[in-house]
Amino acid sequence: MGLMDRIRGEFIDIIEWTDDGRDTIVWRFPRHDNEIKMGARLVVRESQVAVFVNEGRLADVYQPGTYTLTTQNMPVLSTLKGWKHGFESPFKAEVYFVTTRQFTDFKWGTQNPVILRDADFGMVRVRAFGTFAAKVVDAAALLRELVGTDPQFRTEEVSEHLRQLIVSKLGAALGSSGVPLLDLAARQDGIGQQLAKALTLELSSTGIAIPRFYIENISVPPEIEAAIDTRSRMTITGNLDDYAKLQAADAIPIAAANPGTGGDALGLGVGMALGQRIVQSTSGAGAAVPPAPVTQAPAQPAPADVPPPLPTAPRWFLAVGGQQQGPYDESALAGQVAAGNLTRTTLVWRSGQTAWQPAGQVPELTPLLADVPPPLPPQS
């Protein structure tokens, strides 16, 4: 190899980047202190942009195509270098290739709940996750604001910044959308588009845009899910007057499973009431339908030689020391009187009473308390 061939070998005569990865956003051409030959060929492929940098200052930007480098197609660099027209000497400059295709493998999610004010449920904590795409729309701004002198800028270096920005904007986007919590699932696409625009505007100074933003799931606390399920059941059952009727319907199997506590009567009464309300709500004219008269079967004479069943003795509950005790029959109550647990001021209750009452005000207990002295008068 002659001297001229060796000199030519030290000059760069072709500049290009064949991207063999899927996560590189910016790649700096490795010059190794060699000079670029005037007239060298620059190859910029589709979904790429080439940017020349001279001593830290951005120079010319090249769109996809093949270029023969001359002073005519390097106007900014020629000005920075002070070249005159027709300058042919080799030169030094840094060349950055920037990928402009969409990067679609970004994921996002809320590590902590986002507080949302909802008209139906009040203050609600929601979580969400999904994916989004990012794209470089201004290579010069990206180099200036994020890349700097990094020779290889990858998606992982910007992904965390983008995720933090998304979480900070999510609450505002959900709140300003005015969409009720019950309708969020049906409006996820629209909210995603709104977030994409807001994020693109926020990132405009860095040269990055968010062309697509997807919300895959919005979750709420279990108690809100239960409330949503209850509302759905009320809709399915015909939107009865209020939630109390639905609760009463739920109480029927519970009461039936606990005989001896009034469950049979409760189930029968609630069932008849609900049946009547359903008939009224489904009448064609909407007018109230009077309840059907109850036809009583003719009384059957009781056999003369069969006595009636014995009456059931009431069972009593006592409130002693702030705790409920019982049930007690009358013989057991006598023992409680002797033990001093049952006095005229002791609160008692049995089936049929609407509330707890002092024992001295219950006529059935007067005989038991006849020998119990009344409370001492206040001492002066």
Give the C-alpha separation, 180 to 172, whole Å.
Answer: 14
Do the Cβ atoms of 41 and 66 come closer than 8 Å?
Answer: yes
HSE (CB half, 13 Å, CA atoms) of 152? 7
Domains of the chain plus CATH, in order, are 3-99 (no CATH), 103-222 (3.30.479.30), 241-271 (no CATH), 316-365 (3.30.1490)
Span 185-207, pLDDT tens digits:
888 898 899 899 999 999 999 99
Percent of the chain with pLDDT over 90: 28
Give the integer Cα–Cα distance in Å for 192 and 231: 27
pLDDT above 70 as % of the chain: 75
**Phi, psi at residue 139, to the nearest 5°?**
-65, -40
Q: How confident is the model at residue 338 (pLDDT cuts 50, 70, 90)?
A: confident
At 96, give phi and psi (nearest 5°). -110, 130
What's the length of the chain?
380
Whole-number Å distance between alpha carbons of 16 and 14: 7
The pLDDT value given to residue 293: 55
**DSSP of 320-373:** ETTEEEEEE-HHHHHHHHHTTS--TTSEEEETT-SS-EEGGG-GGGTTTTTTSP
Q: What is the pLDDT of residues 39-97, one digit of tens each?
A: 899 999 999 999 999 888 899 999 999 999 888 888 888 887 887 766 778 888 899 99
pLDDT of 285 reads 44
Position 235 pLDDT exceeds 60: yes
pLDDT of residue 97: 96
Q: Do residues 138 and 61 lie in contact, with contact meaning Cβ atoms separated by under 8 Å?
A: no
The number of angstroms, rounded, from the C-alpha of 368 to the middle of its chain's C-alpha atoms is 62
Nearest C-alpha neighbor of 261 from the set 327, 310, 325, 324: 327
Distance between CA atoms of residues 101 and 332, nearest Å: 87
For residues 260 and 159, the model is more confident at 159
Residue indicated by tokens 């002070």: 82
Q: pLDDT, tens digit, for every residue of 89-139?
A: 888 889 999 999 999 989 999 888 888 888 888 888 888 999 999 999 999
Helix then strand count (H, E) for the chain reads 9, 16
More confident residue, 86 or 32: 32
